[in-house]
Structure 1
Amino acid sequence: MSLPETQFAALVDHARTDPYIVGLMLAGSRGLGGYVTPESDYDAYVILRHADLLAEYAERFPSVHGDPVEYIWVSLESFRAHALPGTDSRWNAYTFAHIEPLIDKLDGEIARITSAKTLPGPEDTRAFLDGYLNQYYRSKKNLLAGRHLEGHLDGAESIPWFLDFLFAAHERVRPFNKWLRWELDRYPLDDPWHDALLLRIDEIVTTGSINRQRSLYHDAEAFARTRGLDDVIDAWGPDVLLFRS
């Protein structure tokens, strides 16, 4: 085994017998099993029973970001709240998608806490849809007024909102950009999102094309209405006709 493999294996062995470690997860490329290279590091989330142990364990197992084995020490209480909807750490939710704890000493509680991070909040789908509509509206108004750069930028900025909406509507969290293609290949969305989605959003980001944006909107509106989100769209009043034209 390589030195990082040996170091990580030693961590796992230690965690199994340490009464203060209640959970261990391997995240990142090695956790997901994608884009792994010999240089890929080991991102180890190690969950401690009590917060007052964090400093001691960080000193015993030192690491910094970018080390071949990175120890991410977190208390059980902190881990419960980490990356949940509405928290400042929500950006990190996808880190916990599709991974299972290597060690869970709490009868499945670590797995349940992890799974909760990968679900949208109760209002996320509506908020993301409205954010997408807002950016699409701004893009279209700018493009129609001849402000092509401004409209292009707004069109590009609509795509993160759109993807957040799309994944939330499927009870998932949007992947980090690195993992978008990987996610769609392994966990496909339903039609019309299965085929050519990446090509469609690439063309919008690259060109700002109003025709491509309009086409995407038509599919987004139809999809949103099947999910009972009519009121979010209809709240835009007469501008819905602008969206469609």
Structure 2
Amino acid sequence: MEYDLTPGADAETTLAAFLARAEADPTVLGVVLSGSRAHDGMPTVRSDFDVHVVTGDEGPSAFDALDGYRSDQLDLVVLKLAEFRRRGLPGDPQSWSRYAYVHARVLADRLGGGIADILDRKRTLTAAEAAEQAAGYLDAYINQVYRSLKSHRDGRGALAHFDAAESVPFALEVLFALHGRVRPYNKFLEWELSRRPLGRGWAAERLLPRLRRILADGDPAAQRGLFADVERAARAGGHGGVLDSWGIDLEFLRP
């Protein structure tokens, strides 16, 4: 059976009709809402519904052909249960997509809570994941700051700016991993920091202007100031060994 996805009068009507069809189909095990509609205060009049449909591993589903469907009302992802279990987790080719599930909401769960349990596994980093990610991204962050400041020193300001810009995503990965959390997509960064603060010193009104300054021109003083704060947080989080492996080069990075 092929489903007609003719839009309704509005996105809410279209979603309700789609959800009714999904719930009536025994091959559909779960439906999950992601994106702006899952973040209170984020949707606009142009926001569609990002919906992930989970189907059974055994046999085809009429919903399989809808994977990747996009309109101004619905954006669909269709996954088999096994794929849904690993989506976004370490080792998955789409591990970068994990934040899509951090605030996702269950719209249908034919597994009696099983879909919700799988979602909960994705929402926060395990202690092992947090330690590994914080260490790895910290080393990458240090590397980019070091490269940028060396280029500034050597009169290559434009190229230094590129390295400074690349350091910002690594810094954010470190900060969120130190708190056992998945780094949000940039669109939700201020929302996340405002509603679920990382703690003292990382409030949105303080951190975001510092990041924008670095992204604007790679200012060396701004980079060194941020590095000093990241270093303190990383040492407090048990990652002094990563920092100390850089030896005397750390002095070059500090204010």
Same fold per TM (> 0.5)?
Answer: yes
TM-score using structure 1 length: 0.92
**1:148 counterpart = 2:132:** no
Q: Does 1:161 align with 2:170?
A: yes
Instruction: Report what 1:231 is aligned to.
Output: 241
Task: Give the aligned partner of residue 5 of structure 2.
Answer: none
The 5-angstrom pairing of residues 61-210 of structure 1 reads: 64-120=69-125, 121=129, 122-194=131-203, 195-210=205-220
Say yes or no: does 1:213 pair with 2:223.
yes
Deviations 1:34-77 (CA, angstroms, capped at 9, x unpaired): 431232111111111226324x3244x58723342233211101
11, 16, 19: which one pairs with 1:12? 19
Distance 1:233 1:208 in 2: 22
Displacement, 1:95?
0.8
Unaligned ranges ≥5, structure 2: 1-7
SS at match of 1:102: strand
| Per-residue Cα deviation, 1:145-172 (whole angstroms, up to 9, x for no partner) | 1111111111111000000111111111
Give me the whole-angstrom Cα distance separating, in 2, the residues matched to 1:51 and 1:141.
Answer: 56
Q: Which SS does the other structure have where 1:101 is aligned?
A: strand
Provide the rounded CA distance (Å) in 1 between the counterparts of 2:132 and 2:109. Answer: 31
1:119/1:168 contact within 8 Å kept: no
Letter aligned with residue 31 of structure 1: A
Bigger shift: 28-37 or 42-51?
A: 28-37
Q: CA 1:32 to 1:104, structure 2 compared with 1: closer, same or farther past 3 Å? A: same
Q: Which residue, 59, 79, 100 being the options, matches 1:52? A: 59
Instruction: Give, in angstroms, the shift of residue 133 of structure 1.
Output: 0.5
The 3 A distance-change label for structure 1 pair 63 and 166 is: closer
- CA-to-aligned-CA distance 1:197-220 (integer Å, 9 cap, x gap): 001111111121111111111111
Q: Is the alpha carbon distance of 1:158 and 1:11 closer, same or farther for their aligned partners in structure 2, counting shifts above 3 Å?
A: same
Q: Which digits, 9 at most, give the CA deviation of each residue in 1:88-117, with x for residues without a partner?
A: 101111111122212222232212222222
Give the secondary structure class of the aligned counterpart of 2:31: strand
For these two proteins, the number of residue pairs brought into alignment is 243
Question: In structure 2, the residue corresponding to 1:123 is in which secondary structure?
Answer: helix
Letter in 1 for 2:161: H
The question of whether the paired residues in 2 share the 8 Å contact of 1:119 and 1:173 is answered with yes
SS state of the match for residue 38, structure 1? coil
User: Could you list the runs of 5+ residues in structure 1 that have no partner in the other structure?
Assistant: none
Structure 1 residues 94 and 212: alpha-carbon distance in aligned structure 2, compared to 1, 3 A threshold: same
| SS class of match (2:105) | coil
Q: Which range is displaced more, 79-88 or 129-138?
A: 79-88
Assess if the C-alpha contact under 8 Å between 1:51 and 1:76 holds in 2: no
Distance 1:25 1:64 in 2: 15
Q: Please provide the CA RMSD for this pair.
A: 1.9
Deviation at 1:86, TM superposition (A): 2.6
- TM-score norm. by structure 2 comes to 0.88
Mapped partners of 1:53, 1:27: distance in 2:
24
